[in-house]
Structure formats: C-alpha cells, structure tokens
Chain A
Amino acid sequence: MDVLDAQLVPAVDGVAYGLLLFVVAAGLSLAFGTAGVLNLAHGTLYAVGAYVGAELSDGTWGGLAIGLVAGTAAACAAGAVLAAATAPLTRRGHLDQALLTFGLSLIGGNLLIDLFGADERPVRIPAQLDTSVSLLGHRYPAYRLCFIAMAVVLAAVGTWVLTRTRAGAAVRAAADDPQMLAASGISPRLVHTGMLAAAGALAGAAGVLGAPIIGPGPGTAENVLMLSLVVIVLGGLRSLWATLAAAIGVGEVQTLGVSVAPDWAPYLLFAAMAAVLVLRSRAGVLAAPGGHGADGGEPPKDPAAWLRRRVTAVVARGRSAAVRAPGPAARAARRAAPLGALLAVLVALPWFADAYSLSLAGYALALGLLAVSVTVLTGYAGLPTLGQTAPFAVGAYTTALMADAGWTVGPVQAIAAAAAAAVFSALTGPAVIRTRGTTVLMVTLAVGELTGTAIGQWKSVTGGTDGLAGFPLSRPLWGSGELLEEGDLYLYALVVAGCAVALTLLLLRSTAGKLLTGTRGAEERMQASGHPVSRYLLLAHIGAGALAGVGGALMVTVQQYVSPADVGFEIAALALLAAVIGGTTSVVGAMLGAGLIVYTRDWVAGSWPGHGPLLLGALFVAAVYLLPRGLAGLARRPPDHGEQRGAAAERVAPPEKARAEQGVTS
C-alpha cells in the first residue's frame, strides 16, 4: 500500500506529461494523416513555443498570457511556412517532404540557438501556480494540475473542431482524396496550409504551457519529436482515443517508470514499444493513412520546378545522344561505364588526396553502405526507412567491442558486425514489414531513435554519450600489421565496401531483385501467384541490416571511435538523403550521394563556424527541391509530371491503391 501511495505523485505527473505529449502528437498525427506530411520539424514547432513562452513569461499572469499568445502565433506562423514549403512537393511522395521538413528543422533549431542561446532556459510561472496543493495527503505542484486542465481543454477543442465542424470534415476529406475535395470546390492547398498552421499552433501552445515540464533547450525539439512519434506508433493513426491512451502510457513510463524502476527506465519505453508492435503485428496492420497518390492531377505551381528544369535541361543536352538508342550492349556499357570510372577514381584517390580527405572518403564509404541499405529497402522493397542507423549502430558497437576484446582482424569484425546487425534486423523486421508506405518511415524512425537512446544510456557497455575509443586498430588480414596510415585504411575500406556493394548488386540484378520489385509494385498479385511476400520483405530487411552493419564496422575501423551521435537521427536523415540523391533505386547513386554529402557537410561546417546545422539544413532543402529524382534523375530524361503512368492510362487508381507511388520516387 505504501508503495502505491508513494507513486501517486509521479503517476499524476505522468498524466500531465502524457497530456502534453497527446497535444503535440495529435498535431503531428493530423499533419501526417491528413496533409500527408511526416513533419520532422514538429518538435521544432514545440521548441518555438517553449522558447517564446519562456522569454515572455515573467512570473505574472499577464506574462503567461502574452507568452501563450505570442508563442502560439509564432509556432502557427512557422507551421504556415512549413505548409508553403511542402505544398509544391505534394505530388512527390512523402520521402521528399520528410527530408525537407528535417532540413527546415535543422535550420530552425540553429536559428533558435542564435536567438535564445545554447543553454537550457529557466521558465517562470505565475506565483499563484508556483506552489503546491494537497492531493490525497501528498503535496503536489499546482501548475501540473492546472496544466492537466488546460491540456484537456486544448485536446477537447481540437477534437471537436476535427470531428464536428465543416473545416474538420474538409481536413479529413483531404486525407482521403484531395482531388475530389478540389472537385467539390474547396482548395486542398488552403486546407493543407490551415492544417499545418493549426498543428503548429497546437504544438506552440503546448510548448508555452508545457515549458515547465519539457523546457526549452537545444535537445528539446528532437526529444519531443521522438516521444510524439513513439506515441503515434503506439496509438496508431486515425483514432484519437488510442493516441490519448498511448500518450498517457508513454507519460507514465517516463515518470512513474523512472520512479519505480530507475535502473530499467531507459529501456522501458523501448520495451513497451517493442511489445506493442509485436502484439499489433499479430493482431493486424497499423492503420496506414489514405494514400496521397495525387495521380494525373494538375501539376501544382512549383517555383523549384522551373529551376530544376533548367538544371536538368543543361545536363540532358549533353546526354541526349546516348539516351536515344539503348541497344542491349550499349545499355550494358552505359550502365557499367560510370561504375568503372568511379572505381578508377576511387582506387587512384590515395595517390593525390591528402590524409584528411582520405579519412573523409573512408567515412563516406561507410555512410555509403548505410545509404545503400536504405536504397535496398526504400527503392527495391518499397519500405522507406529512417531506422537503418539501428543495425548500423549494432555493427559499429559490435566492431568496437570486438576490437576492445582483442579481435582485431578487420574482415572478421565486418562479418561479425553483419551477423549481429542481421540478427537485430530479424528481430525488428516483423514490426517493420507489417506496415507499408510512409508508416514505415515512422515505425523505423521510432526504432532507430529508441536504439540510439538505449545506446546512450547503456553506459557500462557502450560508454554512454562519451562513446568508445582507444581500442586496438584493425588489421586487414591475420598476421598483417595494423592499419595505421590513412591511405591503407582507406584502401581497406574501399575493398570491403566494394565487396559489399558488388554482392548487393549481384543479388539485386538476380531473381531476388525482380521478386522485390514485384513485391513493391504488385504485392497482391505476387501473393496470389504463390509468392511468400512477407518472407521476401523480411529477408530484404535482414540483408539490408547486415549491409548497414558492415557500414557500421567500416565507420569504426576508419574513425577508431564511436558515439551515439555517429548513429543518431541526423545520420539516419543523411543516409536517406544520400539514397534520395542517388535516385532511390540506384546502388551506385547512393554511394555517390553519400560521398557528396560527407564532403559538402565537411566543407559547410568549416565555412561558417557555429552554423553547420543551418547550412546542412539548407543542403537538405536544396537537394529536395533541385534533385527530385536524384543524381540518377539528371542522367535520365528531363523529369515529367505524372510518374510512370501508362501511355493510355485512362484509369486513375483510387487513392488507396496508389501505394506504389508513396515514398518511392522511382
């Protein structure tokens, strides 16, 4: 009884925490389910509200009110900016939108630090609330109780608007079929903007009011985004009640869990999510939102399209001759030519590059393997992923721990890393492959984030946020010397990456690639023809995991250091960007994209110190706008609207059938 009694305060705290998450997650879920935007900048919107609220709150009621209005308005405006930025991409799949919002969140985060400083901000609340009240014999902070009331009001108003008003109906209709909404005389663009602005306002209000619970600081945005994602993944989409239950559950894990089992708290969230995902994968599919394959529609006015067309036209002019007549031999030669040229340049690199560039190149190879694993899942299996950093991390830490234990032969490390990552992927796979389309992005992101968090907190093994360093160097073979020189390290990495890529290409060009393509393009048909598609997808997930594991091993060999930041969300986004730049179905393109990104990031970080995230964000934005089909797209014909519709595509698939269009910019 005493135990129960002592947990009352954290339990009520958990409710407050959960309601806060609910308000934030509801906005994220709405933007995802209705506007089709996986808004990775949603946490930043919360941070905007929290910073503004903390800045304006001076401990008076007036201050709080002004903070609330200003914070809500600022986040609302930021939401509108997001809407304006993502609107031209509505026909381009969710992957591009997610990358764009991630770029904007990097930019926004950097601007917030510029404006408000890099320290956590103290939050002052009105004195009348800064006291405690007695609750069943316990002292309890009044603000939390007050917050619970306010959050309930916010949630109730939001729910009422969504389910009972015409505007809410328009929002839900836009989720089902934006074209038909337009044909009913309502501008989907307006709904899209209103939706994201409203979600922003909700997040901003939550930020102002929730600042005393999750305060403004540099890590706020990512923390809030991660927790909201977990809530949505647990609660599923479509049902607000399930989202509420999940939010309270997560809130309780974060408060009551920490209080009851402090040692286990870091892993509780992970365990809870794993349990729910496994249960759900048995019970049925996580409700995917209606597709947004806005096929055959009117191309939206796209300011970037013009610029892009110019760029493509210039490149295409030089290539048009080669594109015209693709005989079988010519086609094979054309395929092999860039690969050969690339290989020649890569092998020759140690003779003309300096040590620093070489270590960058080695890192690029590691990231490239990660990007290739993303390409295999996204482009071939049709599972757009943000979570390949998880097997990447498993591979990296396996290698570091092996080296620490004296196993220093590189290939053995790489194979062990691949095996460990494959086992990890086999365990997470069932949860991932049950879902389709953009929901995969969300599930994988949650898996990756939680893995990163768990690594950061498992100090005894992983060294926590400090990471692992000082382990013996790898040797390329038994009995050979350690890899000391940058040039040798690079060549070793090149050989390992080359083998991994060659093996991947071999597999993808064989039947396996066709089977995956079939599963992505016509899953029902494949199933009806006797193909065990789930098994194919699971195998692809395991294979991609092993590949990412080798990438992780290479990264550790090259850097001789690993920390949670090396396997964090930003790396996941970079790998996805590399895959997108590479054209999502091109393995070599993904490697090239990774190289481009690593060098650009390095150059960017050096060119304006302290603003690396800002410039990196700009890189994301530019890449998404200017390279709609990646580098591979530049090499092909100029882009045209309407994807791969048949010449006589009389029939427009109903939106829910348009899965193939989702997330895959093929």
Chain B
Amino acid sequence: MTPPAERDVKTMGRPPADPVLSLSGLTRRYGTLTAVDDVSLHLATGARHAVIGPNGAGKTTLLNLIAGTARPDEGAITLAGRDITRRAPARRSRLGIARSFQQPSAIRELTVLENVMLATWRHHPLRPGAWRRPKRLRQLAATASGQLEAVGLADVVHQPAGALSHGQRRLLDLAAALAARPSVLLLDEPAAGLTDRDVVRLLRVLDDISDDVAVLLVEHHTDLVAEFADTVTVLMAGRVLVSGPTREALSHPEVRDAYLDPVATAADAPASDSDRKG
C-alpha cells in the first residue's frame, strides 16, 4: 500500500517554471558501478536545495557532473536554457557555476586575498589588464576582501593561504566560489570535519548568500540541511529515492529507515541543539 503523502512527496520534484539549472536523466558509470543513475533535478533561481544520501550514493559524482570534472554517460545539463553537457569545467565556471570542494585546496604560496582575487579574475568585468593597472587592481582587491569579510576571514587576508587551518581553508574555498558571482553554487559537504561552533558560523555565511543564487548543497549534517534547505533530494545507490520539501523528505519513512538511524540521531541531537543555542 502506498500512503498518499508519500506519493505527494515524490512528485514534488516537478520542474519549476523557469529553472536556472536543469539535469535530465543524468547517468554516470564507473566500470560496473553506476554512480549516478538517471537523475533529474531542476533548480529555480534562488533555490536552496540539498542532496543527501549515504556514502557512495553518488552525491559527489553528481556535483562533479554539474561542475564538469566528470562527464555523464547519458543525460543533459542545461544552465539558463543553454546546453552545457559537453562544456569544460572552466567554461562552466565562466557561465555561472561555482563550487566548493570536499577537500579544499588553496594556493599556499599566495596570500588569502590573492587566492580570492585569482578566483574573481575570470569573472570580473574589469578583467582585461586589471592586474596591471593599480586602480583596477584595487577594485579587484576590494571585491575580494569584501567577500572574505563576508565569510569571516577578514583578519587573515594578508596571510599566506598555506598557514590557514582546515576550517579556515574551507571558508576560503567558499569565498573563492562566491567571489565568482555565480548563478548556481555547488557546495560539497562544507560542514565535514567542522566543529558544531564552526557549523553555526558556516550557516550564517550560507544564509547571507544573495537570493539570485541557486544553491545545491551536498551534506551529511542533517541539522544543517534542515536549517538551510527548502527542498531536499535523497539519493540512494545513484538513484533519486525522494525529492521534495525538506521536512517531508526527511521524515519520509523510507529515508528514515535507510539513512537516519533513529538511535544515532537521538544520541547526537541534544548535543547539536544545545550547541546552537550557545
């Protein structure tokens, strides 16, 4: 028997009227393993969408497919009505897709500011010759330091990026992604390895992201997902298990069974809650 509520949730993945990012029937195989299996997803401008699922469900592969570091075997990706399925990652970035990394890498030899300036470089309207002319250079630097301030790295702007801690490097990665003024932002487990206090700070940064950016968040931290995302897609073995509004999707019986162990969440939940208050 299928309760009507469940069917409702499953059909919530209806394409919005004018999606900025559309994935249709994406499939990616690695040998015998199908990492992403016929996934369709549509993001409207300003969407706050999360993708969750157990390890190996294909979440990161999905991000890589959208960012262009992996190519789909089947399916198509369109950005603002334009087919980008075969575009190189750098080209996609210039078209408006930005991403953060699970294992962020920074340019250690350069300062934090220079790192972000390089990230804006290809996106800034003043690009031609900007690095050479002091005035334009200052404008570029101002944009970059504004972005760093927004993620809370204002006091390490002139330090070499190699001296940052793991958490700071994540924020730098996020600043670099945001500095490109994307229309679609892909976040790959931004909270992994962060303490609860850092997660709260991260959430504040994410909340400040402009409304014209569609955000796709891949995350394990269910509290963060519940707090941040309006809609959720649950992946399981590369397939979409459920897609719909966050609360319904997370409380969906299949999801609870497969993904959220009631015992584990019960043990961890009070901890995270009390932390957030403090």
Q: Are B101 and A525 in contact (CB under 8 A)?
A: yes
Is A115 on the interface with B (CB-CB < 8 A)?
no
Bound state CA distance, A647 and B160, in angstroms? 11
Q: Identify which of B90-98, B146-154, B242-250, B269-277 touches chain A.
A: B90-98
Q: Are B118 and A518 in contact (CB under 8 A)?
A: yes
Given known A-B contacts A521-B107, A528-B89, A532-B88, A646 and B162 have beta carbons under 8 A apart: yes
Residue of A nearest to B172 (CB): A525
Q: Cβ of B98: which chain A residues have Cβ within 8 Å of it? A: 528-529
Bound state CA distance, A531 and B131, in angstroms? 15
Given known A-B contacts A514-B118, A646-B164, A650-B166, A522 and B106 have beta carbons under 8 A apart: yes
Q: Are A524 and B122 in contact (CB under 8 A)?
A: no
Bound state CA distance, A514 and B98, in angstroms? 21
Is A600 on the interface with B (CB-CB < 8 A)?
no
Q: Are B162 and A530 in contact (CB under 8 A)?
A: no
Among B109, B118, B163, B193, contact of A666 (Cβ-Cβ < 8 Å): B109
Is A317 on the interface with B (CB-CB < 8 A)?
no
Q: Are B163 and A527 in contact (CB under 8 A)?
A: no
Residue of B nearest to A656 (CB): B103
Given known A-B contacts A644-B108, A653-B103, A525 and B163 have beta carbons under 8 A apart: no
Q: Cβ of B69: which chain A residues have Cβ within 8 Å of it? A: 524, 527
The B-contacting residues of A in range 494-546, CB under 8 angstroms, are 510-511, 514-515, 517-518, 521-533
Is A651 on the interface with B (CB-CB < 8 A)?
yes
The A-contacting residues of B in range 145-198, CB under 8 angstroms, are 162-166, 173, 176-177, 179-180, 193
Given known A-B contacts A525-B176, A527-B90, A529-B118, A646 and B163 have beta carbons under 8 A apart: yes
Q: Cβ of B177: which chain A residues have Cβ within 8 Å of it? A: 528-529
Residue of B nearest to A657 (CB): B103
Given known A-B contacts A510-B132, A521-B106, A651 and B193 have beta carbons under 8 A apart: yes
Residue of A nearest to B118 (CB): A518
The A-contacting residues of B in range 99-134, CB under 8 angstroms, are 99, 101, 103-110, 114-115, 118-123, 131-132
Q: Cβ of A532: which chain B residues have Cβ within 8 Å of it? A: 88, 90-91
Among A511, A517, A522, contact of B105 (Cβ-Cβ < 8 Å): A522
Q: Are B93 and A529 in contact (CB under 8 A)?
A: yes
Is A648 on the interface with B (CB-CB < 8 A)?
yes
Q: Are A529 and B103 in contact (CB under 8 A)?
A: no
Is B23 on the interface with A (CB-CB < 8 A)?
no
Among A533, A647, A651, contact of B163 (Cβ-Cβ < 8 Å): A647
Q: Cβ of A644: which chain B residues have Cβ within 8 Å of it? A: 108-109, 162
Q: Are B109 and A529 in contact (CB under 8 A)?
A: no
Q: Cβ of A530: which chain B residues have Cβ within 8 Å of it? A: 90-91, 93-94, 121-123, 180
Q: Are A529 and B166 in contact (CB under 8 A)?
A: no
Query: In the complex, how many residues of chain A place their beta carbon closer than 8 angstroms to a beta carbon of chain B?
Result: 32
Residue of A nearest to B93 (CB): A530
Q: Are A529 and B180 in contact (CB under 8 A)?
A: yes
Closest Cβ of chain B to A666, distance in Å, is 7
Residue of A nearest to B107 (CB): A521
For A525, A528, A657, the residue with the greatest tally of chain B CB atoms inside 10 Å of its CB is A528
Given known A-B contacts A521-B107, A531-B90, A515 and B118 have beta carbons under 8 A apart: yes
Is B67 on the interface with A (CB-CB < 8 A)?
yes
Q: Are A528 and B165 in contact (CB under 8 A)?
A: no
Bound state CA distance, A511 and B136, in angstroms? 14
Closest Cβ of chain A to B55, distance in Å, is 15
Bound state CA distance, A646 and B156, in angstroms? 13
Bound state CA distance, A637 and B69, in angstroms? 39
Bound state CA distance, A525 and B107, in angstroms? 9
Query: In the complex, how many residues of chain B place their beta carbon closer than 8 angstroms to a beta carbon of chain A?
Result: 40
The A-contacting residues of B in range 55-89, CB under 8 angstroms, are 67, 69, 88-89
Given known A-B contacts A521-B107, A525-B176, A528-B98, A514 and B114 have beta carbons under 8 A apart: yes
Q: Are B93 and A518 in contact (CB under 8 A)?
A: no
Closest Cβ of chain B to A435, distance in Å, is 17
Q: Are A521 and B109 in contact (CB under 8 A)?
A: yes
Bound state CA distance, A477 and B239, in angstroms? 71
Q: Are B107 and A518 in contact (CB under 8 A)?
A: yes
Bound state CA distance, A526 and B115, in angstroms? 9
Q: Are A657 and B105 in contact (CB under 8 A)?
A: yes
Q: Are A529 and B176 in contact (CB under 8 A)?
A: yes
Closest Cβ of chain B to A645, distance in Å, is 8
For A514, A649, A666, the residue with the greatest tally of chain B CB atoms inside 10 Å of its CB is A514
Residue of B nearest to A519 (CB): B107
Q: Cβ of B179: which chain A residues have Cβ within 8 Å of it? A: 529
For B69, B91, B107, B114, the residue with the greatest tally of chain A CB atoms inside 10 Å of its CB is B107
Bound state CA distance, A645 and B193, in angstroms? 18
Q: Cβ of A511: which chain B residues have Cβ within 8 Å of it? A: 121, 131-132
Bound state CA distance, A126 and B91, in angstroms? 66
Closest Cβ of chain A to B271, distance in Å, is 21
Q: Are A526 and B103 in contact (CB under 8 A)?
A: no
Closest Cβ of chain A to B253, distance in Å, is 36
Bound state CA distance, A650 and B167, in angstroms? 10
Given known A-B contacts A517-B107, A531-B90, A526 and B164 have beta carbons under 8 A apart: no
Q: Are A521 and B165 in contact (CB under 8 A)?
A: no
Among B90, B105, B119, B123, contact of A521 (Cβ-Cβ < 8 Å): B105
Bound state CA distance, A114 and B67, in angstroms? 60
Q: Cβ of B109: which chain A residues have Cβ within 8 Å of it? A: 517, 521, 644, 666
Bound state CA distance, A645 and B164, in angstroms? 9
Residue of B nearest to A528 (CB): B99
Given known A-B contacts A514-B114, A521-B106, A646-B162, A529 and B122 have beta carbons under 8 A apart: yes
Bound state CA distance, A203 and B269, in angstroms? 61
Q: Are B122 and A531 in contact (CB under 8 A)?
A: yes
Bound state CA distance, A531 and B119, in angstroms? 8
Q: Cβ of B101: which chain A residues have Cβ within 8 Å of it? A: 524-525, 528
Given known A-B contacts A524-B101, A657-B105, A666-B109, A533 and B164 have beta carbons under 8 A apart: no
Bound state CA distance, A517 and B132, in angstroms? 17
Q: Are A524 and B105 in contact (CB under 8 A)?
A: yes
Bound state CA distance, A648 and B101, in angstroms? 20
Among A518, A526, A648, contact of B165 (Cβ-Cβ < 8 Å): A648
Bound state CA distance, A347 and B69, in angstroms? 51
Residue of A nearest to B67 (CB): A528
Closest Cβ of chain B to A536, distance in Å, is 10
Bound state CA distance, A588 and B165, in angstroms? 33
Can you list the 3 inter-chain pairs with the closest CB atoms, starting with the nearest?
A530-B122, A530-B93, A511-B131
Chain A residues near B (Cβ < 8 Å): 510-511, 514-515, 517-518, 521-533, 644-651, 653-654, 657, 660, 666
Extra 5 A-B pairs, beta carbons < 8 Å, given A521-B109, A527-B89 = A517-B107, A522-B105, A523-B105, A532-B91, A644-B162
22 contacts between A and B (CB under 8 A): A511-B132, A521-B105, A521-B109, A521-B110, A524-B105, A525-B101, A525-B106, A528-B89, A528-B98, A528-B99, A529-B93, A529-B120, A530-B90, A530-B93, A531-B118, A644-B109, A646-B163, A646-B164, A646-B165, A648-B165, A649-B165, A657-B103
